[in-house]
């Protein structure tokens, strides 16, 4: 075993340069992990999706929709069933998104492509009682299953996101989200109430 590890030790004259180069490499790797907020991608927090500011319009649409109360981004856009499949998809899709954003190759108008099948499966998973064929056939035996011919997005294309807009239509996207502003306002009102003051509602 010792002989095996000795193969990776450089000669004496190359020892210092190799240590310096390794230090630079691992330092840059650590900085890349920090600046990209890589650990946040292991979570299911919706705010993670706006690490890249190009997704802010989609985040705002979700934040103002009824889905905000029940779902996160991963509930709709990531396959479910087992952890391995979920994180493999997140790694593959995240790497593609990161590469596109790093090289500034994002299109002006963003459409869902690779994740379309995952979204369709999750629509059915959450709305099983509404679209599940087992339940529908009990109520209406002659029901024609349109899900074999079309997807949910063919009709519900504005749920929960509105019509797709170009990036140039949201030039000031790097502002606080409505959720963050609302949270700060609620916290301020709680502090004023705790001091025995009546909260003053600010005009939006």
- Could you state, in order of their start, the residue ranges of all structural domains in the chain? 52-173, 174-204
Give SS3 for 74: helix
| C-alpha–C-alpha distance, residues 76 and 119, integer Å | 5
Per-residue pLDDT for the chain (204 aa), expressed as one digit of tens each?
A: 667 777 778 788 888 888 999 999 999 999 988 887 888 888 888 888 888 767 878 888 888 888 988 999 999 999 998 889 998 998 888 888 888 888 888 887 788 888 889 999 999 889 887 776 666 777 777 777 777 788 888 888 888 887 766 666 655 554 455 455 555 555 666 666 665 555 445 444
Give SS3 for 166: strand
Please say whether the beta carbons of 159 and 166 come within 8 A: no
How buried is 90 (Cβ within 10 angstroms: 0-12 exposed, 13-18 middle, 19+ buried)? middle
| C-alpha–C-alpha distance, residues 74 and 99, integer Å | 20
Find the length of the chain: 204
166: phi then psi, degrees, rounded to nearest 5: -70, 155
Number of helices (H) and strands (E) in the chain: give both, helices first: 9, 0
The per-residue pLDDT for 113 is 80
The per-residue pLDDT for 157 is 83
The per-residue pLDDT for 203 is 47
- pTM > 0.85: yes or no: no
What stretches of 46-137 adopt beta strand conformation (E)?
A: none
CATH superfamily of 52-173: Di-heme elbow motif domain (1.10.3820.10)
């Amino acid at each position: 075993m010792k002989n095996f590890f000795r193969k990776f030790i450089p000669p004496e004259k190359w020892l210092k340069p190799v240590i310096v180069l390794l230090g630079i490499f691992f330092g840059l790797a650590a900085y890349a992990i920090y600046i990209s907020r890589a650990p946040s991608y292991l979570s299911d927090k919706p705010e993670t999706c706006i690490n890249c500011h190009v997704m802010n319009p989609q985040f705002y649409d979700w934040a103002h929709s009824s889905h905000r109360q029940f779902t996160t981004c991963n509930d709709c856009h990531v396959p479910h069933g087992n952890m391995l499949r979920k994180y493999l998809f997140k790694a593959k899709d995240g790497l593609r998104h990161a590469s596109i954003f790093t090289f500034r190759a994002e299109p002006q108008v963003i459409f869902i492509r690779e994740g379309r099948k995952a979204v369709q499966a999750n629509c059915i998973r959450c709305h099983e009682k509404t679209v599940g064929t087992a339940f529908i056939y009990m109520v209406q035996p002659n029901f024609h299953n349109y899900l074999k011919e079309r997807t949910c997005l063919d009709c519900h294309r504005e749920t929960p996101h509105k019509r797709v807009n170009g990036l140039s239509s949201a030039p000031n996207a790097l502002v606080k989200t409505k959720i963050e502003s609302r949270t700060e306002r609620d916290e301020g009102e709680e502090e004023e109430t705790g001091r025995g003051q009546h909260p003053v509602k600010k005009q939006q």
